[in-house]
Amino acid sequence: MENLWGGRFKKEINKEMKEFTSSIAFDQKLAVFDITGSIAHAKMLGKCHIIPDVESQKIVAALEVILKDVQKNGLSITGEAEDIHTWVENKLKEKIGDIAGKLHTARSRNDQVALDERLYLKEEVKKIKASLKDLQTSLLLIAEKNLDVIMPGYTHLQHAQPIIFSHHLLAYFYKFNRDKGRMKDLFERMDVLPLGSAALAGTSFPIDREFVAKQLGFDLISENSLDAVSDRDFILEFLSAASICMMHLSRLSEEIILWSSKEFNFIELDDSFCTGSSIMPQKKNPDAAELIRGKTGRVYGNMINLFTAMKALPLAYNHDMQEDKEPLFDSVETIKKSLFLMSQMIKTLTVNRENMSASLKGDFSTATELADYLVRKGLSFREAHKIVGEIVLYCIKNKKNLSQLNLQEFKLFHKIFEEKVTELLNPHAAANAKTSYGGTSLKRVKGSVQKAKKLLKQE
């Protein structure tokens, strides 16, 4: 296959150099988008009488045949195409001869690849948003089924205050909702047509960029040709958003791993998302969650990879920018698979509600309720905090928990205590006392579930 350049050179490119610079091994993922962009460009060339209309139609017809073949049979790379652009043009030449060379009029591979990547990422971001919605739906499903389940809320991985299990799940619902919002935001910023910028300066041909934008579904057209071909902000922004999303997936994975351990025993994962041991017959390992947690570092690395590649590049295009594709493609596939597995894993897990509730027995997670009780009686919070701290220390020394103390023991620390104080020490009562907006009371959590449902329906 021929290169798209070479007239100025006396020697063939060094074999190792050719292999080193070739991107066809990975950018073939852009084939459909490259052909789609070429069809729109060819139509525009004919419409604007830059090439004869009959030649434009011939090019478009041949490209549509190539596109259908790629969509049906996939891509079979043969020969020595340098990149996907070369492969498409050479394939076109095989079908219609030298007329194929007219396709590249008024464009460059620089604006062509910027177009391909935007078209590709627009489609993938739509899929990722849908996967995020699926995960949110799974979280809501389990949350609604377990509104009566109480568990310890943690800070520093220590029992802090009792909360409703559904409240914990909804925390992730809103994290993933922000991830979806970031995807929506970056979609709007990358929905800009770069084609027509040519190599870096635009073109002297009377092109119609508005026509091409409409053909390809872009809302905006790039304002500056130098910016359009040198910009990879849209990929960097995606990798940043993907990294944040993977961090949320990793945090949820960590909790799933902890909750499914014997020490916690809060949940049991479906067998289909676990593996066993080659030596220990009893093992049931949360491999899906562990791999999602591990692959988070992979996406972080991809982000740093491209930030580093772009950090000192002068305008406009530099071959360094070829290094944007593998981090992008890898991160897209990683986040899609991670979201799918997490959604299915959440949907199929079993909640050990009795164990969650039992884990609160004997702890001091209702101590804050005791301090709030004293504040309502007129003490300052600092004084109340000190008194309750002393009560907790008394319990530890006497191997008791708060619910085992009688009124006389409470009065050892302040005469203001009354008989009803013991009612505050029930974990369900403590959780349901948190009636502030966004709190963990049953009323608030039920309201939050309904609001979350509405959010998903509005999309």
Distance CA 459, CA 453 (A): 10
Q: Which residues contact 142 (CB under 8 A, 6 or more apart)?
A: 166, 169, 346, 347, 349, 351
> Is-cis flag, bond preceding 429, omega within 30?
no
Query: Would you please indicate which residues are annotated as catalytic (active-site) residues?
Result: 156, 277
Distance CA 81, CA 45 (A): 25
Task: Please report, for the chain, how many H helices and E strands are present, in that order.
Answer: 18, 6
Q: Which residue has the tokens 């085992």?
A: 404
Distance CA 301, CA 308 (A): 10
**How would you class 80 by CB atoms within 10 Å of its CB: exposed for 0-12, middle for 13-18, buried for 19 or more?**
middle
**Residue 330 phi, psi (nearest 5):** -65, -40
Distance CA 267, CA 169 (A): 13
End-to-end CA, the chain: 47
Q: Which residue has the tokens 């000192």?
A: 312
DSSP bridge pairs for 153: 161
* Beta carbons within 10 angstroms of residue 285's beta carbon: 15
Which of 292, 293, 184 minimizes the C-alpha distance to 241?
184
Distance CA 193, CA 229 (A): 11
Structure tokens at 117: 């990547």
DSSP secondary structure, 112-140, as one string:
HHHHHHHHHHHHHHHHHHHHHHHHHHHHH
Which of 317, 299, 249 minimizes the C-alpha distance to 111?
317
Which of 387, 455, 449, 453 minimizes the C-alpha distance to 166?
449
3-state SS assignment for residue 285: strand
The answer for 157, left when phi > 0, alpha when psi is -120 to 50, beta otherwise, is: left
- With beta carbons less than 8 A apart as the criterion, state whether 31 and 42 touch: no
Distance CA 192, CA 307 (A): 21
Distance CA 420, CA 386 (A): 21
